């Protein structure tokens, strides 16, 4: 990468990591044998852990719910778009909020009252289209016992401008003065666009607290290297920590938008890592080193061609996604104990009803490179994670 470095930029609003995090930092992510060109162990923010601390019986321990397992941009009849929930002793943390996320949360038995934080891998619509329902429908209603019990902290990419060469010269941009807005910009823009709803209900009234205080957006602070849009090598860095979970992030390779993140959750019950959208990534392998569960995106390029997708489109998708021929090797390199496939793209883009996954072929193909437990994700699938203590 021509010596370029990536550095989490923690100046300004950053808070120091918790005492527990400092004591157990050595157990975060291995990274043995992988060279890192930068990185930091400092937490971007460590908000308090106020709210309901009860351990719900069905949610004891560490569980992952695959809320939506489809990839965009075509709506599908049998899969919602990408979102996952990590539930630690009754407290939920959501990764991405694609179409249908609120419905899927409640169908899984996860209410707004359980959710403490949302982590956004990148701003493509299939990962972010239902951000508005996540924030507006979680507003507490006094006396009803509904809604977020405390502030919802949201972590997503910052605005870094356009990577060189994207989009193609001559392409007209929306908001050319800020064509790649960050998490804070996006949040406030959505609230402004739906001002009628919040103003007519009363920004702060008997209908609930001021929504501007209820949801707190955070730009995950990074500095942009000169080698955009390809991310440089970097060590995982902490973005969030409370008394049940430490969340680390790294840059992954999804071309544009940049940056795009993978996230790892370390808990007293084990660990789970989410790839986000990415090609095979050395950064992601380092983040996922020794993880108990790796939830990784996947596409079946040949299957897409066979079912009517144009070959040039498949070539383009392979430049920003991981093919079925590659994902097993990623999991094996990371030493992941279990691999769950999500953001599944076997579709021909000509129909909202994609062809069914040929389960035998997929298991055989991934099994050539990966000998661990393989899960082909389905919507609302609940995975219990039992692993070594990682905090």
pLDDT in tens, 281-325: 999 999 999 999 999 999 988 888 887 888 888 888 888 899 999
Please, what are the domains in the chain? 54-163+181-223+237-385 (3.60.15.10)
Q: Look at residues 216, 57, 198, 229 and name the one whose alpha carbon lies nearest to residue 136.
A: 198
Q: How many whole angstroms separate alpha carbon 48 and alpha carbon 51?
A: 9
- Count CB-CB contacts under 10 A for residue 356: 8
Q: How many whole angstroms separate alpha carbon 260 and alpha carbon 229?
A: 10
Lookup: tokens for 80? 């919602």
How far is C-alpha 142 from the geometric centre of its chain's CA atoms? Answer: 31
CA distances from 107 to 4, 49, 103, 337, 380 (A): 45, 25, 6, 28, 8
Helices within the chain (DSSP H only): 19-23, 101-107, 125-128, 131-136, 183-193, 195-201, 211-214, 282-287, 301-306, 311-318, 324-334, 359-367
pLDDT of residue 295: 98
Residues of the chain with pLDDT under 70: 1-56, 145, 164-165, 168, 201-208, 224-229, 347-352, 354-355
3-state SS of 44-69 is CCCCCCCCCCCCCHHHCCEEEEEEEC
**Cross-strand bridge partners of residue 376:** 341
């Amino acid at each position: 990468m021509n010596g370029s470095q990536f550095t989490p930029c923690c100046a300004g609003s950053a808070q120091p990591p918790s005492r527990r995090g400092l004591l157990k930092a050595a157990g975060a992510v291995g990274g043995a044998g992988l060279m890192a060109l930068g990185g930091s162990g400092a937490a971007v923010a460590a908000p308090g852990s106020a709210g309901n601390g009860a351990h719900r019986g069905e949610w004891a321990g560490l569980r992952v719910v695959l809320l939506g397992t489809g990839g965009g941009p075509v709506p599908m009849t049998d899969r919602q778009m990408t979102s996952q929930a990590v539930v630690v002793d009754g407290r939920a943390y959501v990764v991405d909020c694609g179409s249908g996320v609120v419905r899927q949360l409640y169908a899984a038995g996860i209410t707004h009252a359980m959710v403490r934080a949302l982590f956004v891998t990148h701003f493509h619509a299939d990962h972010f289209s239902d951000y508005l329902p996540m924030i507006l429908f979680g507003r507490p209603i006094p006396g009803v016992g509904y809604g977020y019990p405390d502030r919802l902290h949201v972590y997503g990419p910052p605005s870094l401008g356009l990577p060189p060469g994207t989009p193609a010269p001559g392409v007209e941009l929306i908001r050319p003065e800020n064509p790649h807005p960050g998490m804070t910009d996006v949040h406030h823009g959505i609230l402004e666009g739906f001002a009628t709803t919040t103003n007519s209900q009363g920004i702060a009234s008997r209908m609930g607290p001021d929504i501007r205080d209820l949801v707190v957006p955070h730009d995950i602070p990074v500095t942009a290297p000169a080698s955009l849009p390809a991310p440089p090598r970097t060590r995982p860095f902490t973005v969030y920590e409370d008394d049940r979970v430490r969340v680390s992030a790294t840059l992954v390779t999804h071309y544009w938008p940049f940056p795009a993140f993978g996230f790892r959750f370390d808990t007293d019950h084990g660990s789970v890592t989410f790839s986000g959208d990415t090609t095979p990534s050395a950064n992601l392998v380092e983040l996922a080193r020794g993880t108990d569960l790796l939830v990784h995106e996947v596409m079946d390029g040949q299957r897409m061609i066979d079912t009517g997708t144009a070959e040039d489109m498949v070539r383009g998708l392979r430049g920003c996604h991981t093919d079925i021929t590659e994902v097993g090797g990623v999991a094996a390199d990371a030493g992941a104990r279990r691999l769950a496939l999500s953001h599944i793209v076997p579709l021909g883009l000509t129909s909202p009803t994609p062809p069914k996954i040929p389960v035998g072929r997929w298991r055989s193909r991934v099994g050539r490179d990966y000998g661990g437990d393989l899960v082909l994700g389905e919507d609302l699938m609940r995975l219990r994670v039992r692993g070594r203590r990682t905090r």
